[in-house]
Amino acid sequence: QLLPLVTGYEEYLPVFVLGVVIFMCAMNDITAPSVSLEGKSIWILQSLPVPARKVLDAKKKVHWALTVPPAALLTAALSFVLGVSLTDTLLMLVLITVYIMFSASLGLWLNLRKPNLSWTNEAIPVKQSMAALIMILGGFAVSALFIGGGFLALKVMPASVYIALFCVLLIV
């Protein structure tokens, strides 16, 4: 039932699908409050005979493990239902993975800059931290930028080139 609605706009489908999936992934901000959630017991992690980098990488890997599979499945399903080409679908999967890796790293970096270790309720670092707010609103902005830029860019380049360029931008 969706296909008649998109007739004539097929070249915009990969960009729109990716924008929607990025928007949804932006709401999953696992790393943004992860350091703050350690609270007053952060000394336990600091006293372990493990490099700090390894602990932080573990936090990012949890974010990836919980976000990449559902996002990839949603992207593949929407691409299949809407008839997006295999090449564009593969590029879309790469971009979603890169975006999730980018958002996990940025969320962790933001929380490391100013963690809240003296909270009294777990909801405070999760729902009231500046890192979580920046990550959620920033993800919405990335989604809007991707869709808006895509509608402008697709007048001069194919969707696959635009997706690849945005992927490179996120990697850089």
Residue 47 has pLDDT above 80, yes or no: no
- The rounded percent of the chain whose pLDDT value lies above 70 is 93
CA distance 52 to 166: 31
Neighbours of 59 (CB within 10 A): 18
Cα 105 to Cα 63: distance, rounded to the nearest angstrom: 9
Q: What is the DSSP string of 7-50?
A: TT-GGGHHHHHHHHHHHHHHT--SSTTTTGGGGGGHHHHHHSSS
Whole-number mean pLDDT of the chain? 87
pLDDT the model gives residue 11: 80
Q: What is the phi/psi pair of residue 14, to 5°? A: -60, -40
Residue-wise pLDDT tens digits, 89-100: 999 999 999 999
Residue 107 has pLDDT above 80, yes or no: yes
Question: How many alpha carbons lie under 13 Å from residue 51 in its C-beta half-sphere?
Answer: 3
List pLDDT tens digits, range 4-46: 665 666 788 889 899 999 999 999 989 888 888 787 777 676 6
Residue 12 structure tokens: 């915009």
